[in-house]
Amino acid sequence: MTIKSDSDYVAGALANYTSGIGYYTSHTEVSDLLQVGAFTNSSTPSIATVGKIIKRVEGRIDESIKLSYRPEIIEKETHNFDAWQLQSYPLTYWKDYVGFIQLNSTKIQKIIRLEVYKGDAYEDLASAMVEYTPPADAVNGTFTITLGVGSDADTGYRFVLTKGQANGFYDLFGQETTVKQICDAINEKYPADTARFTGETSIKEITDAPNGGGVTRNISDFFYASPSHNGTSVKISSLLPKDAGTICTITATHGTTSSSSFDDKENYGRREDFWTLDGEGKIFFRQDYPYLMPHSVKVTYIRGSKRVPASIHEAATKMVAAEILVHDDNTILINETGANIDLKTKHDILMQEAKAIIDGKKQLIHFID
């Protein structure tokens, strides 16, 4: 497995579509290819518009090659744990698993939640997490939930969810609706399940920067939330590696204030509860394994390659440039030839070259499968 190449596109680590920076390309790369002036907040198209185009193009590439080089969260993928999978019971020193499951994806970046059924309930085996139960009835007055990263606000982050604000949550429609609202705020999603009650029309977004100065980050960079099995509480997982999430905290304020730290749920290793082959998408169970029954494992995970090869970067840049040309009223001067090429010809050339790259990736993936 190639872990890096000098030609990899690395700016995607700072992806921010509003700022025109995607995982596969950026507004600067596109303007350089088109040999036009830099995009700005007031240009046509603006940096934010180019960012939207980049986001669409990256989605089309992922759908075409059936693989993502961006981090994508797959939620509650369900698997059976059947008797035929028990390979090595009872355990001995040289037997390091009793069974395994094969995820539907490869190139796993992180197991966020690993829920195994134990007869009367699902038990969480992965990540540092906390469970929060909001009040059953609507709160009169101020109600905030603060998720913290690090013990010092000057160097860490404090993400605040405020009741009654669009980027926060609403608690007027019952406890289960409040839980979904909180989950969507943490995951920064459009509240599709509850918008018909709340009247919301946009994606939620919550950001923060350390008081002492630093990079502004989004709450979904650090946390993932989902409803509990009965829907009356929120299970919040840290996206930090392994047990690093124990530096995270939650504070709820509504009349009184309560605070909790995240608990480490993960006992990972070849001699522990479970271990993984991330590149192959396999999870091996050793000590704490599920019941032998259908749907006994639920997995929420981040998939996606950790590197963006130059070919994907090139294809994305050319596809974005081609889409911009469709909306451009001016002919682009190609310096290499010194000749004016009409927009349609330039568009077609860029799309043909991008398609050739993507088709090559399709063939490679098919061959591996």
**Which residue did the predictor score with more confidence, 70 or 120?**
70
C-alpha–C-alpha distance, residues 359 and 231, integer Å: 44
pLDDT tens, position by position, 137-154: 999 999 999 999 998 877
Distance spanning both ends of the chain, measured CA to CA: 15
pLDDT tens, position by position, 38-84: 999 999 899 999 999 999 999 999 999 888 889 999 999 999 886 55
- pTM of the shown model: 0.81
pLDDT of residue 60: 95
pLDDT of residue 343: 79
pLDDT of residue 107: 86
Which of the four pLDDT bands, split at 50, 70 and 90, describes residue 18?
confident
Q: How many CA atoms lie within 13 A of 258 on its CB side?
A: 11
Ranked by mean pLDDT, the top range of 93-102, 151-160, 323-332 is 151-160
Taking 90 as the threshold, does the pLDDT of residue 176 lie above it? yes
289-300 burial code (b ≥16 CB/10 A, e <16):
bbeeeeebbbbb
Residue type (1 letter), 315: A
pLDDT tens, position by position, 279-298: 889 988 877 778 777 889 99
Residue type (1 letter), 358: I
**Which residue did the predictor score with more confidence, 207 or 95?**
207
Least confident of 37-46, 85-94, 324-333, 344-353: 85-94
pLDDT of residue 42: 92
Which of the four pLDDT bands, split at 50, 70 and 90, describes residue 99?
confident
Q: Mean pLDDT, to the nearest integer, of 226-247? A: 93
Q: Which two tokens stand for residue 263?
A: 């608990």
Taking 70 as the threshold, does the pLDDT of residue 5 lie above it? yes
pLDDT of residue 369: 43
Q: What is the mean pLDDT of the chain?
A: 87
154-185 burial code (b ≥16 CB/10 A, e <16):
eebbbbbbbbeebbbbbbeeebbbbbbbbbbb
**Could you tell me the sign of the dihedral formed by the alpha carbons of 149, 153, 154, 158, in that order?**
positive
pLDDT of residue 157: 95
Q: At a CB cut-off of 8 Å and minimum separation 6, what does 75 contact?
A: 226, 300
How is the chain split into domains, by residue range? 11-69+306-368, 72-126+267-303, 128-264
Q: Which of 13, 17, 14 is nearest to 49 (CA)?
A: 17
Taking 80 as the threshold, does the pLDDT of residue 229 lie above it? yes
In CATH terms, is domain 128-264 a member of 2.60.40? yes
| Coil vs helix vs strand at 202 | coil
DSSP state of 241: S
**Which residue did the predictor score with more confidence, 119 or 227?**
227
C-alpha–C-alpha distance, residues 354 and 317, integer Å: 9
Q: Which residues on neighbouring strands pair with residue 115, listed in sequence order?
A: 124, 298
Share of the chain above pLDDT 90, in %: 57
Share of the chain above pLDDT 70, in %: 89
pLDDT of residue 301: 95
| Strand ranges inside the chain, DSSP E | 72-79, 99-102, 108-117, 122-124, 128-132, 144-149, 157-162, 207-208, 217-218, 223-227, 234-238, 248-254, 256-261, 263-264, 274-277, 282-285, 297-303, 332-334, 339-341
Q: Mean pLDDT, to the nearest integer, of 160-177? A: 96
